Chains A and B, each alone.
Chain A
């Protein structure tokens, strides 16, 4: 009480700073639950599906590919959810984007790459409309994007039937062969590496003498690249700081000069973009587009995101969490198939899993703030 000015220089050791256990520090990371969950899931299937070929090279690529496709959506959805918003139109956007790629090629003979570019531009536009409506009307994004869930699906069905008379547009396999952009969304990378692995005997061959795995599917590359970019953005950039701020308290963020509307609209555009990447991967893979594609994908993405430790109310979470959330989803989906359990039970498991994850996250967050 003798002086009002505090001196901090002569404080070498802070008596109020308790040494924190490393595990407890890890517990404070948003993705902790998902990483632990993934280990648990691997352990489980390691025991119960070990001799089924799930963990053979081909099996691993299999469940990684399933995880990757969902993961691409989940990472974008995670960033949007951290900013405090939902996008329920992702699934319909997948169908819509797929048809925007396929119809011009099939009906008007556009080169594939032009219609891919066209689809991406369209997606950015739709994402913008989603975001703009949410920001301007101040309605919950749940409602606005629910409307677009129906509008986009309806537009997809309406236009496709109007222009082709059917609900499926096929025959894209041939145009995929020599297209400049199609290579980004189809095939595998690192083939020579896998051939080499086979040569030195690290990788088995099948009955025809071919390697069991010929390369890494591009979807997995997309997944990892998008995860890396999203993590960089969230942790290292100004835009990332704004994303957390928007979701944590949009009003506070606005009052200190964060362009909240711009951040949210951009993220809605990103989810639409992710849906279009997903759609392109699917269209190139199947050689067709269908008005039924992407059903329920928006909810699967939300499950992956929430299991990945992102707070439903926004302001907290990570892209890595979404990656592991999607990995759990894909692993369980394929794992159930490999263990021979009736796959009808998969959805029960995923629903239960999400409930557990939310309860766990809530608990961790409370601990975090004490």
Chain B
């Protein structure tokens, strides 16, 4: 296990914004076929970390290695060329542009040669519609401006786009925050599929159900520093939740523990099946768990 070369690796990375230390001596690695969940409070530096990985920011100190080779990205285009696709927290969408134009922004498929080289709009529209259908959004009109869509629908475009273009590493910054139960489950299935295809996935979320069901490794950030890195075998869901919450909310947990075990049971049954089947079953489990959670929240208030 240790001999495997990581897809992407950070070594002692620091990032400052003026006098703010956003990242402090971060080292991490993501292997092929592995989902790393990046956890931490708001302002912990999660978004800064993934923006460093995706070429938006340059680290102030430290180095990055891609498939064993030292690399420094000069732009997000660089990262994309290296097979690293990202769903940013702010989604990177242009509201006045159409769904198709947004989907292929920067990576437009073309036909023709020389000055007659042009975007293959037919193919682009088809692919955009298809990929959106896969994520459970029925696009009525791919030439519709993205600004007319709901927040969740926009998030789905950003995710579908990253999944479509992400060749080696998929990075998702709170991709499920605006999604309904059904779409969130589909996103988790996407992550499972990407993992099965041998991609490395970095997944940021505040939802412990999402994190624990799909994650293999959990990295906890706290105020810009790495608080710890755990494999799934080393921690229980409750421990993950307590680390996410900073250890203070443990008292409120006991009531929630019951339905954890329920969804775990469903998940365990599927362990022996293929990943794809498992992910479909997982969807059920997730949907149920989330439904339970919703009921719990409503009964409290």
Contacts and interface: CB of A to CB of B under 8 A. Distances in A.
A215 interface: no
Interface string A259-285: 100000000000000000000000000
Contact of B97 (A248, A255, A311, A370): A248
Nearest to B285: A4
Listed residue (A8, A11, A368) with the most chain B CB atoms within 10 angstroms of its CB? A8
A254 B76 contact: yes
Nearest to B283: A4
B90 interface: yes
A249 B93 contact: yes
A18 B182 CA distance: 25
B175 to A, nearest CB: 15
A182 B170 CA distance: 56
Contacts of A238: 108, 110, 119
Contact of B92 (A5, A255, A369): A255
Interface of A: 1, 4-6, 8, 11, 14, 16-17, 232, 236-238, 240-242, 244-245, 248-249, 251-259, 311, 315-316, 365, 368-370
Given A5-B283, A257-B80, A369-B147, A237 B94 contact: no
Chain B interface: which size bin? Answer: 35 or more
Contacts of A11: 138
Contacts of A251: 92
A173 to B, nearest CB: 35
21 contacts: A1-B287, A4-B189, A5-B186, A232-B118, A236-B118, A236-B121, A237-B119, A238-B108, A238-B110, A241-B108, A244-B101, A245-B94, A248-B97, A249-B95, A254-B76, A256-B106, A257-B76, A257-B77, A311-B96, A369-B96, A369-B145
Nearest to B98: A244
A163 B147 CA distance: 56
Given A1-B287, A245-B106, A255 B76 contact: yes
A256 B280 contact: no
B88 interface: yes
Contact of B75 (A1, A4, A237, A257): A257
A365 B110 CA distance: 29
A259 to B, nearest CB: 7
Nearest to A240: B119
A242 B54 CA distance: 20
Interface in B85-144: 86, 88, 90-97, 101, 104-108, 110, 117-119, 121, 133, 136, 138, 140-141
A259 B77 contact: yes
Given A241-B101, A370-B148, A256 B80 contact: yes
Contact of B117 (A237, A242, A254): A237
A4 B95 contact: no
Central interface residue in A236, A241, A315, by most chain B CB within 10 Å: A241
Contact of B105 (A1, A6, A241): A241
Contacts of A369: 95-96, 145, 147-148
Contacts of A14: 138, 140
B185 interface: yes
B56 interface: yes
Nearest to A365: B96
Contacts of A245: 94, 97, 101, 105-106
B106 A8 contact: no
B119 A236 contact: yes
A244 B98 CA distance: 10
Contacts of A315: 94, 96-97
B119 A257 contact: no
A186 to B, nearest CB: 27
A236 B186 CA distance: 33
A256 B136 CA distance: 23
Contacts of B76: 254-257
B104 A241 contact: yes
Nearest to B140: A17
Select the residue from B104, B141, B145 with max chain A CB neighbours within 10 A. B145
A308 B144 CA distance: 21
Interface in B155-206: 161, 182, 185-186, 189
B284 interface: yes
Contacts of B96: 244, 248, 311, 315-316, 365, 369
Nearest to A369: B147
Given A248-B97, A252-B94, A255-B54, 14 more contacts: A4-B280, A4-B286, A6-B182, A232-B118, A240-B119, A241-B119, A244-B101, A252-B90, A253-B94, A255-B88, A257-B106, A259-B75, A316-B96, A369-B148
Contacts of A237: 117-119
Contacts of A368: 145
Nearest to A259: B77
A6 B105 CA distance: 27
A4 B291 CA distance: 13
A251 B284 CA distance: 37
B106 A253 contact: yes
A326 to B, nearest CB: 23
A244 B145 CA distance: 12
B119 to A, nearest CB: 6
Contacts of B108: 238, 241
A368 B97 CA distance: 11
Nearest to B143: A28
Nearest to B284: A4
A253 B97 CA distance: 11
B95 A8 contact: no
Contacts of B56: 254-255
B176 to A, nearest CB: 14
Contacts of A252: 90-94, 105
Contacts of A17: 140-141
Contacts of B92: 249, 251-253, 255-256
Contacts of A16: 140
